[in-house]
Amino acid sequence: MRTLRRLLANWLPAYAFLYIAFLYLPVLLLPIFSINTAASPRFPLSGYTLKWYADLPKTPALIDATENSLIVGVAAAILATILGICAARAVTRYRFPGQRAVSGLIMAPLVLPEVIVAIALLIVLLQLGLSLSLFTVVLGHVLICVPYSVSVLISGFEGFDRSLEEASADLGETALGTFRRVTLPMVMPAIISSLLVSFTISLDEFIMAFFLTGTEATLPIYIWGQLRFAAKLPGVLALGTLLLFGSFILLTFAEILRRRAERRTRMTGAALA
Amino acid sequence: MIEIADVTRSYGAFKALDNASLTIREGEFFSLLGPSGCGKTTLLRMIAGFDQPTTGTISIDGQPMDGIPANRRPTNMVFQSYAIFPHLNVEKNVAYGLKRLRLDPKEERRRVDEALAQVSLTGLGRRGGHELSGGQRQRVALARALVMRPKVLLLDEPLSALDKKLREQMQVELRSLQQAVGITFVLVTHDQYEALGMSDRIAVMFGGKIAQIAKPKEIYQRPVNRQVADFLGGMNFVKAEIVEENGASITVETSGFGRVTTDKPQAFVRNGKGATLGIRPERLRVLWEGESSKFEVGGKVVDRHYFGEITHLIVDVPGLEKPLSVSETNDFGADDIPVGAPIRLGYDPDALVAMAD
């Protein structure tokens, strides 16, 4: 028993290090090879250059894909967040029959195989007679963004002291005024956080976009298409690096806002102590 | 000022408030006192407009409040959680309700400063709503309500979240604040000392019904029944039988205190022949050697509890079902009376109160 414990004590840190290295090292290779002068990703690097980045804006197909991704991302983020606000408010404020089942079902897309959902959605949309377009991609993205949006918003809404809204009414404010002056400012950080998270997810999403888009490619689909040409690889790496940093910054910002919202709403209850 | 007429609030078959009627006068410090679930908070929330009576009417200043929402009532509330807006600083919290009145900025400023001064928060106006201590939050909640110059200030257990020392200090401050501003205060509390110490009058409530409405002294000394007597603090109960009853007084026969005639409490409702005679522990006095009293009972000390400035003696009196509890100051050595010693207790017959069972 004791030897086992000693073994664990010695090896656990090493294991943790290996695990994290396996997880993140390949991702780190992306920016490294993206500034390599040679087209093939191989060590040692033959030289440093930023020309792959400089070439990016000169590719019309890439510009189109970026535009498509932005349109889809913004639309999906707004729709998912609106639906998320309704769901999160219902879950945190009201008690109703089937509440657990409903909140479980809202979260289900997190664990459902995305390929299956995408194919199912494709069949339904085609049966409905809708032609595939960016709009159908938005629908698919809303579906997978809502669970994230709901969980971010719930942590912002939870613990929101009902008496704050009552206090506002008591001080003469109307229902609409109360929403504008108390409810909205209190939950705004959570809403922005939800928008950022949803946008980031939509931006990186491949499977839904692959099945549901028509002729208009989003960024991940453009990248996938480029991988067939070895000469295009450095450009893809550069683009991937930009996406990586963009997502990282957006998600960090979203998390900061989410925590702030949580702190704020918890405050009224916690300060009683 | 506030007229509550036959108000009932039902939730299905459960009546949170059962046919309550009471009148709160202008400029009065009125307390609703009772254990949790007695309907006191329900009543307060109906006065504020957060809840509607199922039947009955609440009028404020002669105006029936039926269907008038909270934001159009001449009342303001200090919430139990204080409900300070965490995203606004102290000044903006206090000015929150004034914003709707669209006052001249100078006038608004003046009223905010005045309200902050009233609750001794001058200079803390820029402090964030989430950076305040419990006592400060309570003061902000008070200032935010007072600045609206309501006809009625409603206070929902405002001191329950504070520690003992601060609570006692705030009791004094609340009382003098009420006298300074002259607004009608309605306080909800489960703490009898709070109610006794601050109120002009108290309504004691149990199970959705108002048991007694009276001044603190009368509630304490002349409770209408055992439940009220018990809730207001310790009391010795002695079984009694009603011998005679007329408009003003009542005569009962007991085994330990003999035949006693006392003032009849208001709202005394006779329930058969049985009654209870009560006396507060501090109204029984230890008679030392050589002392005598016109009214006295004798017994034996069976237990003793020391509380610093006072000692509780438990005295077994022949003929009584339960031993008497006596609260005596320690000035004359009550803390040294040995358990088992014989003892004589004197009392003033005015301290005895006959209650309905």
Domain ranges of chain A: 61-270
List Cα–Cα distances, A91 to A87, A146, A157, A180, in angstroms: 6, 14, 9, 21
Q: How does strand B296-306 pair with strand B342-346?
A: antiparallel
**Average pLDDT of the residues in B250-260:** 83
Distance CA B94, CA A158 (A): 25
CA A25, A151, A201 angle in degrees (round to 5)? 45
Which stretches within chain A are classed as H helix?
A: 2-34, 51-55, 60-93, 99-107, 114-127, 134-157, 162-170, 175-178, 184-204, 207-212, 219-226, 233-270
Distance CA A82, CA A194 (A): 10
Of B71, B81, B87, the CB nearest to A163: B81
The predicted-structure confidence for B198-226, as pLDDT tens digits, reads as follows 999 999 999 999 999 999 999 998 888 88
Of A177, A182, A272, the CB nearest to B85: A182
CA A241, A246, A252 angle in degrees (round to 5)? 125
Q: Is B155 on the interface with A (CB under 8 A)?
A: no
How close B318 gets to chain A, by Cα (Å)? 49
How close A9 gets to chain B, by Cα (Å)? 43
Q: Is B137 on the interface with A (CB under 8 A)?
A: yes
The predicted-structure confidence for A197-253, as pLDDT tens digits, reads as follows 999 999 889 999 999 987 888 888 988 888 888 777 888 888 888 888 888 898 888
Tokens of B52: 């509607």
List Cα–Cα distances, B43 to A179, A211, B48, B79, B128, in angstroms: 26, 60, 9, 14, 33
The amino acid sitting at B234 is G
Q: Which residues of B touch A259 (CB under 8 A)?
A: none
Which stretches within chain B are classed as H helix?
A: 40-48, 90-95, 105-118, 134-146, 164-181, 192-198, 216-221, 226-231
Indicate the burial class of B203 (C-beta count within 10 angstroms; 0-12, 13-18, 19 or more). Answer: buried
Q: Which residues of A touch B49 (CB under 8 A)?
A: 169-170
Q: Which residues of A touch B75 (CB under 8 A)?
A: 170
Q: Is B142 on the interface with A (CB under 8 A)?
A: no
Instruction: Classify A64 as helix, strand or coil.
Output: helix
Q: Is B163 on the interface with A (CB under 8 A)?
A: no
- Tally of CB atoms within 10 A around B21: 12
**Average pLDDT of the residues in A5-23:** 86
Q: Decide: B205 and B198 in contact? Cβ < 8 Å.
A: no
Residue of B nearest to A165 (CA): B83
Q: Does the fold of domain B223-357 match that of domain B2-219?
A: no
Distance CA B74, CA A265 (A): 29
Q: What percentage of residues in chain B have a pLDDT greater than 90?
A: 58
The predicted-structure confidence for B298-347, as pLDDT tens digits, reads as follows 899 999 999 988 999 999 998 888 899 999 998 888 888 889 999 999 99
Among A225, A141, A152, A232, which residue's Cα sits nearest to residue A187?
Answer: A152
How close A178 gets to chain B, by Cα (Å)? 10
Polymer length in residues for chain B: 357
Q: Is the Cβ pair B86, A267 closer than 8 Å?
A: yes
At the topology level, CATH places domain B223-357 in OB fold (Dihydrolipoamide Acetyltransferase, E2P) (2.40.50)
DSSP letter, residue B338: P
pTM of the predicted structure, to 2 decimals: 0.76
Q: Is B79 on the interface with A (CB under 8 A)?
A: yes
User: Which one has a higher pLDDT value, B34 or B289?
Assistant: B34
Q: Decide: A168 and B148 in contact? Cβ < 8 Å.
A: no
Residue to test with chain B: of A171, A173, A174, A267, most B Cβ within 10 A: A171
Distance CA B130, CA B31 (A): 30
Residue to test with chain A: of B51, B73, B82, most A Cβ within 10 A: B82
Of A177, A181, A272, the CB nearest to B81: A272
Q: What percentage of residues in chain B have a pLDDT greater than 70?
A: 97
Domain B2-219: CATH superfamily is P-loop containing nucleotide triphosphate hydrolases (3.40.50.300)
Of A171, A185, A186, the CB nearest to B76: A171
Q: How does strand B259-263 pair with strand B249-254?
A: antiparallel
How close B9 gets to chain A, by Cα (Å)? 20
The predicted-structure confidence for B140-159, as pLDDT tens digits, reads as follows 999 999 999 999 999 999 99
pLDDT at residue A272, rounded to an integer: 38
Q: Is the Cβ pair A166, B144 closer than 8 Å?
A: no
How close B130 gets to chain A, by Cα (Å)? 6
pLDDT confidence tier of residue B266, bands split at 50, 70 and 90: low
| Domain locations along chain B | 2-219, 223-357
Q: Which residues of B touch A185 (CB under 8 A)?
A: 87
Residue of A nearest to B71 (CA): A172
How close B162 gets to chain A, by Cα (Å)? 8
Rounded to the nearest angstrom, the gap between the alpha carbon of residue A215 and the centroid of all alpha carbons in its chain is 24
The predicted-structure confidence for A140-167, as pLDDT tens digits, reads as follows 999 999 999 999 888 878 767 788 999 9
At the topology level, CATH places domain A61-270 in MetI-like fold (1.10.3720)
Q: Which residues of A touch B48 (CB under 8 A)?
A: 170
Q: How does strand B310-316 pair with strand B296-306?
A: antiparallel
DSSP letter, residue B270: -
Of B50, B72, B84, the CB nearest to A268: B84
Q: Which residues of B touch A269 (CB under 8 A)?
A: 81
Give me Rg for the CA atoms of chain A. Answer: 23
pLDDT confidence tier of residue A264, bands split at 50, 70 and 90: low
The predicted-structure confidence for B269-299, as pLDDT tens digits, reads as follows 676 777 888 899 999 999 988 888 888 888 9
DSSP for A147-161, please give it.
Answer: HHHHHHHHHHHTT--
How close A172 gets to chain B, by Cα (Å)? 4
Q: Is the Cβ pair A169, B71 closer than 8 Å?
A: yes
Q: Is the Cβ pair B84, A174 closer than 8 Å?
A: no
Q: Is B106 on the interface with A (CB under 8 A)?
A: no
Q: Is B219 on the interface with A (CB under 8 A)?
A: no
Q: Is the Cβ pair A181, B96 closer than 8 Å?
A: yes
**Average pLDDT of the residues in A111-140:** 89
Of A170, A268, A271, the CB nearest to B76: A170
How close B161 gets to chain A, by Cα (Å)? 6
- Of A10-24, A65-79, A98-112, which has the strongest mean pLDDT? A65-79
**Average pLDDT of the residues in B17-39:** 93
Q: Is the Cβ pair A171, B71 closer than 8 Å?
A: yes
Tokens of B87: 């995203």
The amino acid sitting at B242 is I
Question: How many A×B Cβ pairs under 8 Å?
Answer: 82
